[in-house]
């Protein structure tokens, strides 16, 4: 009852169309429209018609322009973070951003947003360009089940299922499909290869006696944190990975290890 009482009332279906039209005009009048002389006046329906007539349909991008933008979106063209800022003041030639900039995978929705940002085209054309981009050779569909494709029985290939932490497979929807790029996969491969090669290389190993002194200076560390400091300072690995939930003391532990 409370929800019904506070719900915004819709216009009566029998209300005259003129009343609705006047309401739309009132809302439109709140939008400032350039008057051509450096000032603005309240927008009118005529302004919108004139604007659409003067501007016309967006110009379709040339094939070489599409290829140049796609190469940026897929991470093939090197883009410096100094070339643009992530705000609404981007220059026209810096609107394309790699789709893997903020994550190792992306969804079709992410791709649509990236294409729409990069091209001044109609929504229908955005969808067409997005489909072309996702078919690009350097764009790869990510399989939710790592074992998908390795089984002989096609019915057992679970490309549209996600494995939960408990090991259970649950179905996904088309919106859950994720993609990545050749460039991102190559970068991850370089990181993994380097990490494996540097296991046990005896880098920056700290004597146990010195580790004890470090821990004595940090009596606030709990047992797991102290064990982590000791492991980091004595492993000798080129890379060590710390995994933990937010607020569990990772930064505190690493601060103590850094002093060591």
pLDDT, one tens digit per residue, over 24-63 is 778 877 878 777 777 777 877 776 665 555 555 567 788 9
Q: Is the dihedral of CA 36, 39, 45, 46 positive or negative?
A: negative
Whether residues 191 and 221 share a domain: the answer is no
12-21, 113-122, 138-147: range with lowest mean pLDDT: 12-21
Q: Which strand (E) or helix (H) includes residue 32?
A: strand 32-34
> Euclidean distance between the first and final Cα of the chain, in Å?
63
Q: Say which residue, 188 or 54, is predicted with more confidence.
A: 188
Evaluate whether residue 104 is within a structural domain: no
Evaluate whether residue 66 is within a structural domain: no
pLDDT digits (tens, 9 = 90+) for 219-240: 999 989 999 999 999 998 998 9
pLDDT class of 187 with cuts at 50, 70, 90:
confident
State yes or no: pLDDT of 130 exceeds 90: yes
Domain with 227 in it: 208-259
* E strand segments, 45-183: 106-107, 139-142, 161-163, 169-171, 178-181
What's the pTM value of the predicted model, to 2 decimals? 0.54
Evaluate whether residue 69 is within a structural domain: no
Mean pLDDT, residues 68-73: 91
Whether residues 182 and 147 share a domain: the answer is yes
Mean pLDDT, residues 142-154: 53
Domain total of the chain: 3
State yes or no: pLDDT of 79 exceeds 50: yes
Whether residues 185 and 214 share a domain: the answer is no
State yes or no: pLDDT of 74 exceeds 50: yes
2-16, 50-64, 210-224: range with lowest mean pLDDT: 2-16
Evaluate whether residue 48 is within a structural domain: yes
Given this model, what pLDDT does residue 153 score? 44
Overall residue count recorded for the chain in this entry: 260
Q: Is the dihedral of CA 123, 125, 131, 136 positive or negative?
A: negative
107: which residues sit within 8 A by CB, 6+ positions away? 175, 176, 177, 178, 179
Cα distance between residue 172 and residue 145, in whole Å: 11
Evaluate whether residue 89 is within a structural domain: no
Evaluate whether residue 77 is within a structural domain: no
Given this model, what pLDDT does residue 121 score? 85
Evaluate whether residue 82 is within a structural domain: no
Residue that is written with structure tokens 């096609």 in the block: 154
Evaluate whether residue 109 is within a structural domain: no
pLDDT digits (tens, 9 = 90+) for 100-123: 887 888 988 899 999 998 888 888
Whether residues 193 and 212 share a domain: the answer is no
């Amino acid at each position: 009852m409370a929800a019904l009482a506070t719900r915004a009332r819709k216009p009566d279906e029998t209300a005259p169309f003129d009343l609705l039209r006047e309401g739309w005009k009132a809302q439109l009048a709140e939008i400032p429209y350039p008057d051509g002389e450096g000032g603005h006046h309240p927008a009118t329906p005529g302004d919108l018609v004139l604007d659409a007539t003067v501007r016309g349909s967006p110009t379709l991008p040339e094939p070489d322009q599409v290829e140049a933008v796609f190469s940026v979106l897929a991470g093939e063209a090197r883009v410096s973070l100094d070339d643009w800022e992530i705000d609404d003041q981007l220059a026209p030639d810096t609107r394309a951003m790699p789709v893997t900039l903020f994550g190792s995978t992306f969804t079709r929705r992410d791709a649509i947003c990236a294409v729409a940002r990069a091209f001044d085209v109609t929504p229908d054309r955005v969808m067409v360009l997005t489909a072309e981009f996702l078919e690009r050779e350097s764009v790869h569909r990510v399989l939710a089940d790592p074992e998908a494709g390795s089984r002989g029985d096609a019915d057992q290939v679970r490309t549209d299922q996600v494995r939960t932490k408990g090991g259970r497979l649950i179905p996904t929807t088309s919106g859950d499909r994720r993609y990545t790029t050749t460039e991102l996969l190559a970068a991850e491969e370089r990181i993994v290869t380097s990490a494996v090669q540097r296991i046990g290389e005896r880098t920056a190993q700290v004597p146990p006696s010195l580790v004890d002194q470090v821990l004595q200076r940090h009596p606030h560390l709990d047992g797991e944190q102290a064990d982590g400091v000791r492991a980091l300072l004595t492993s000798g690995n080129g890379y060590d990975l710390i995994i933990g939930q937010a607020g569990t003391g990772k930064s505190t532990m690493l601060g103590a290890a850094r002093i060591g």
